[in-house]
Amino acid sequence: MIMSTPRKLGLAVAQMGPVHLADTRETVVARLVEMMREAKGRGAEFVVFPELALTTFFPRYWISDEEANEKYFEKQMPGPATQPLFDEAKKLGVGFYLGYAELTPEGRRFNTAIMVDQTGAIIGKYRKIHLPGHSDHKPEAPFQHLEKKFFEVGDLGFRVFDTLNTKIGMALCNDRRWPETYRVMALQSAEVVVLGYNTPSWNIHWNEPMHLRTSTHLISLQANAYQNAIWVAAAAKCGSEDGHHMIGSSVIVAPTGEIVARAISEEDEVIVASADLTWCENFRNHVFNFAKHRRPEHYGLIVERTGAGDPIA
């Protein structure tokens, strides 16, 4: 019945309002720096920024690969426009997660996130695995969701990195709806999973009631935080980007499945929690003692099948 001594991480989510087509990277980075300062002032040691944080959510536009590469992809990280964020991190002694479109020297393209420690060094990289949307042009749709056109499936797996005396894993947007994402990282002893997202408020594929875009986002984060005994911090880019609205509701969720901090605006907004990592242990030592209770001999289909098939006879 004895509770452990608290072990706390100052964890911030820096939600972003819209980035319009006309906005420059320099303007965007200045917003990120400003939020990093606010987060630090409110006790944060680690700041989570959104997916594709540096530009508008360009997969909504049917444009050529050349135009996309030129306008929306980063050829180096940090580059001239993003260096100020790394400098500020080092100055403040704050780590961060940042999502951006990555163009490799070989011309490969990924929807990527990096983890940067409090010295400003990149210590981990993640390339998005669960790419949603389509690769073909859908001229009848009000906008596109071309992640399968502009990005390859990530090739680095779901990994966990040590920083600030904490084991932190990374994911991106649609990954948060797939329980495998969190489980693979929890099996590597992750204590925190951080992720950014851009989620259009309107589903172009079917007549999905709009309120579900937010409710399914929240229950996915809550249940997976609980079932994996981890903290989850999720940062939206949201509001109306040149007329295309995306959901907000950035949150920090405890291993209890409870939302402990939530953004209420659809603008730049910082939320902070003092994340007591001993709560991970409370659940992992008991109901979610994996070694004691998991039964992988009955989970085979999860890796043996990709799509759904017939019932096993």
Query: How far are the Cα atoms of 45, 96, 111, 171, 215 from residue 108, in angstroms, in the given order?
Result: 33, 24, 11, 19, 34
* Closer residue to a second copy, CB minimum distance, 77 or 223: 223
170 binds a second copy (CB under 8 A): no
24-32, 68-76, 152-160, 231-239 -> range binding a second copy (CB under 8 A): 152-160
List binders of a second copy among 283-312 (CB under 8 A): 284-296, 298-312
Q: What is the DSSP letter of 161?
A: E
Closest distance to a second copy from the beta carbon of 40 (Å): 27
Query: How far are the Cα atoms of 162, 168, 231, 280 from residue 189, in angstroms, in the given order?
Result: 10, 9, 12, 10
Applying CB under 8 A, the site for a second copy has a residue count of 75
Determine whether 138 is an active site residue.
no
Residue 211: φ, ψ to 5°: -65, -25
Say if residue 78 is preceded by a cis peptide, omega within 30 of 0: yes
Query: How far are the Cα atoms of 65, 90, 143 from residue 137, in angstroms, in the given order?
Result: 13, 43, 10
List binders of a second copy among 249-268 (CB under 8 A): 256-258
106 binds a second copy (CB under 8 A): no
Whose tokens are 């589903």? That residue is 203
Binding mask 110-139 for a second copy (x = CB under 8 A): -------------------xxxx-------
Closest distance to a second copy from the beta carbon of 312 (Å): 6
Cα three-residue angle 208-134-216, rounded to 5 degrees: 35
* Closer residue to a second copy, CB minimum distance, 164 or 223: 223
Please give the positions annotated as active site. 51, 128, 173
